Structure 1
Amino acid sequence: MDVQVEVLKELRDLAARLPHAVGSSVASTDGLLIAHDVRGVEPDMLAALSAAYLALGQQLAGALDRGAFRDTVTRAADGHVGVYAAGQSALLTVLTGPDTNIGRLHLEARGSADRIGALVDGALARLS
């Protein structure tokens, strides 16, 4: 099965498990869109911004000697944006509404990020 199809299935499964989820995307760490399940947001822009956010988080964690970046969540007036490292080559971005339980967001998104990371890293390993 195509990795993009498998990643999209994971995004849809995540939406089904996570109350208040309004969209998600997976991008490469350099900001190229791999798959998305978002409406009302330009997916390529979301991928690029998420990669920039990941890079900033990596720099912050590294500069403060906190280890490898794992995730970050931004709380805004109309909801949350979570960015999660997904293996070595990708990242998962999850958009939710304002009533999201952050613990549940982390629980569900971290599991999805692990599965997505394995899919993307595995596909890249097969190509090399």
Structure 2
Amino acid sequence: MTASKTDRLDTALSALRRAMPDVRGALVATSDGLPIAKSFSDNTDASRVAAMAATANGLGKRISDTLGTGTLSEMSVAGHSGQVFFYTAGARAVLAVVTPPDANLGLLHMEARETAQAVAAIL
């Protein structure tokens, strides 16, 4: 029996969290801001994160278009207590990853980009 899309998305997020144990959370959202799958180490509101991910993705696309930097692939927001990275996951979804401020960014980008590609293939 084939696993459902939800199960496959949950597996992809779990693999990301296993590869990067210090990641505080990860979420897949539709491009219009609805949560599809989530994995947070606390009780973060997935609906709010999904809405923010979609908004950030939309803004990033407008910036890329305006400045002629090509198709948006990822963007980030950094604060003193952590960072949030947004990766496009095909035309219909976005992957948001919340990290501590001292995360290993090389490993994060490698793992998260792979996860975003897996999410795009699932959806």
* TM-score between both structures, scaled by the size of structure 1: 0.90
Aligned to 1:8: 10
Whole-Å separation in 2 of the counterparts to 1:106 and 1:19 = 14
RMSD: 0.9
Give how far 1:73 is off: 1.6
Alignment of 1:49-128 (within 5 A): 49-120=52-123
Give how far 1:31 is off: 0.5
Aligned to 1:123: none
Q: Give the gaps of 5 or more residues in structure 2.
A: none
Structure 1 stretches of 4+ with a deviation exceeding 3 A read none
Whole-Å separation in 2 of the counterparts to 1:72 and 1:61 = 10
Aligned to 1:25: 27
SS at match of 1:115: helix
Q: Give the gaps of 5 or more residues in structure 1.
A: 121-128
SS at match of 2:84: strand
Give how far 1:119 is off: 0.4
